[in-house]
Structure 1
């Protein structure tokens, strides 16, 4: 139950990041397609479900939360399709220009990750209290660790593309493309290796990655402040500057990784 509620918090962190980020990005697009309101609705529902799950101490899955998390996962897949279509219909199609300045390909995946983590938290609750937790017959710590490791690598790809667009003009811009891949590798090794092994380096690296998300928000806020007009011109700079709500995606995934690590250590299967 402790790990399930940790996953709820991780899913909620991702949902909050998506909610604010998609609101800003789709406002910039003037909501010209009515479907652009969908991620705001699903992210809000995912956030509400995660808050409810964090406070829920019952050892059973909740059908409403399950439906919300499944909807969030589906929204991310459909949104990725929309973004690919948006780029493909522009001159040059998959050119650097379109990848940099058109609908971000990796952004919708964040709401899918929120749905995935929430769905996994509900599967954890379905386990009998006196048996090692499993998901689809696989030890829960292993499957959550593997899925979170893949999620971290996907988030790095989006961050790397946008920081490449910014020419890495600040050395700190290298951190989101160097720290999370190491966290993903360490967590993946934990998910595939011996579960009873104590892994302090992995734990501390995941904690540092969680802090990176908050630090990234501060860096992006400073970037907005350095734009012409600074925060006095927030209506334009908040939309055109570095996305302030995006970095906490790393925090959410790192929290999920810590939950997986705790499961591996508390319920060894070898």
Structure 2
């Protein structure tokens, strides 16, 4: 398996890389060691440097210099994003077996000229498990902390947030089919199973294999609103895919950690205002 078969975005790879090796350690990594690791999964030096620059501009990484070398540390915003991702992968899980019938609804009306704002809102809602039920109305199964999800957006007065249940004659399955592309979600899990069930899928490089595995899995989880299992097919592929991910992640963890200790150039992260 090669990077071309999975083709994750460089920023997704970068976030996962820092999430695995930096989150919770309060250290910064040199650009040189990041370039070396990413070369193992087919990402060019130019792409790495460009991605690091973009992530600094987006407030996800911050630079610090030591001698002639440039290092990169996580910002508080990145830490929050990565902790949420870790929670989603290791605790919340990909299968929702305890839905209580509650829905969270977000209504909004933004001018067509607010393209960036609309994109940011929809991106946040998708990450929060929402799908578009109809124009300007998004729904998510379960209780979602919308204030936490959208609290820093500047147009709070244009949002309307509700919580409730589905009543007859509306059917839950029709809501799910309208708001979410169930076939596409299932297809992503099937693709994950196809890629990572192959013998030797992790490859001989534990560090590179771990990075691709974690990035591929988080891409699946990121696009999955955790629909209630009781309203999905009995053979929902997320169940098998999650088991496979956990098995492979455990298998490569020790070797990847040892290799990271050998190749990563880490220094203590400086205070953000230094």
Task: State the TM-score, normalizing by the size of structure 1.
Answer: 0.32
Q: Which of the two has higher C-alpha Rg?
A: 2
Task: Kindly indicate which of the two structures has a greater share of residues assigned to helix.
Answer: 1
More strand by share: 2
TM-score (structure 2 length as normaliser) = 0.32
